[in-house]
């Protein structure tokens, strides 16, 4: 982890270079030497933060997961009185916006999760979203579920799965699917 602003800027430049290489050349051209050159840092500086290609991929995945979590948390802050359907739609839209921000690199990162040893970290990031949403659901008077963690699990994983499935189908509107999913999920948690 960087200890100062210079280190943080170095890490940002390195991860931006990883994104560029993945986007324009694919994972097969991702090497630490290529990343260091494109980032404008020495290979020694790169190795100070990232010991290998897998750690670069893992760090980029972590950054994307944190971006998604931050967007979801922003939706929930101050939304205790917002209608639950609206909140769920906003969550789906936040996850969709995060994915759109990550394209076209997102698909390559999914494919490389095993190689980067990132499956557990990815699951952990989804679990953080589940915990956040479960706590939010528990505070709501207009939500009735036997298990708020299970409801949050369904919400997070259904949104994630649907957005991922739609992203590979150019003739399907991601926003339409997000809206439809939010409607279905809202029915799942609303008081009857």
**Which of the residues in the chain have pLDDT under 70?**
1-2, 103-104, 106-118, 166-175, 177-178, 184, 188, 190-192
Angle between the 84-102 and 148-167 helix axes, to the nearest 10 degrees?
40
What per-residue confidence (pLDDT) applies to 115? 54
Predicted confidence at residue 107, as pLDDT, reads: 62
**Domain annotation for the chain: domains and CATH numbers:** 1-51 (1.10.10.60), 53-189 (1.10.357.10)
Question: Tokens 């290979």 appear where?
Answer: 43
> How many residues can be counted in the chain?
192
| pLDDT for the residue 174 | 64
**CB-CB neighbours of 73 under 10 Å:** 15
Q: Which of 67, 167, 181 is nearest to 125 (CA)?
A: 67
Task: Determine contact, residues 151/137, Cβ cutoff 8 Å.
Answer: yes
Q: How far apart are CA 29 and CA 27, in angstroms?
A: 5
Instruction: Give bridge partners of residue 190 from the DSSP assignment.
Output: 143
pTM of the model: 0.80
pLDDT in tens, 128-156: 999 999 999 999 888 888 889 998 998 88
* The pLDDT of residue 128: 94
Cβ neighbours for 155, distance < 8 A, ≥ 6 positions apart? 88, 91, 133, 185, 188, 189
Identify the pLDDT of residue 100.
Answer: 78
pLDDT in the model for residue 106: 63
């Amino acid at each position: 982890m960087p200890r100062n602003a210079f280190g943080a800027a170095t890490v940002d430049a390195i991860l931006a270079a990883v994104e560029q290489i993945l986007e324009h050349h694919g994972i097969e051209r991702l090497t630490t030497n290529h990343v260091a050159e494109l980032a404008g840092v020495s290979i020694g500086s790169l190795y100070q933060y990232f010991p290998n290609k897998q750690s670069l991929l893992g760090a980029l995945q972590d950054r994307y997961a944190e971006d998604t979590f931050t967007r979801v948390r922003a939706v929930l802050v101050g939304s205790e009185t917002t209608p639950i359907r609206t909140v769920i739609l906003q969550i789906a839209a936040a996850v969709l916006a995060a994915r759109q921000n990550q394209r076209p690199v997102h698909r390559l990162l999914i494919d490389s999760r095993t190689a980067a040893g990132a499956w557990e970290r990815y699951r952990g990031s989804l679990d953080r979203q589940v915990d956040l949403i479960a706590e939010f659901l528990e505070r709501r008077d207009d939500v009735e579920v036997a298990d708020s963690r299970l409801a949050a699990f369904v919400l997070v994983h259904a949104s994630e799965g649907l957005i991922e499935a739609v992203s590979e189908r150019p003739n399907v509107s991601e926003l339409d699917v997000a809206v439809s999913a939010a409607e279905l999920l809202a029915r799942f948690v609303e008081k009857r």
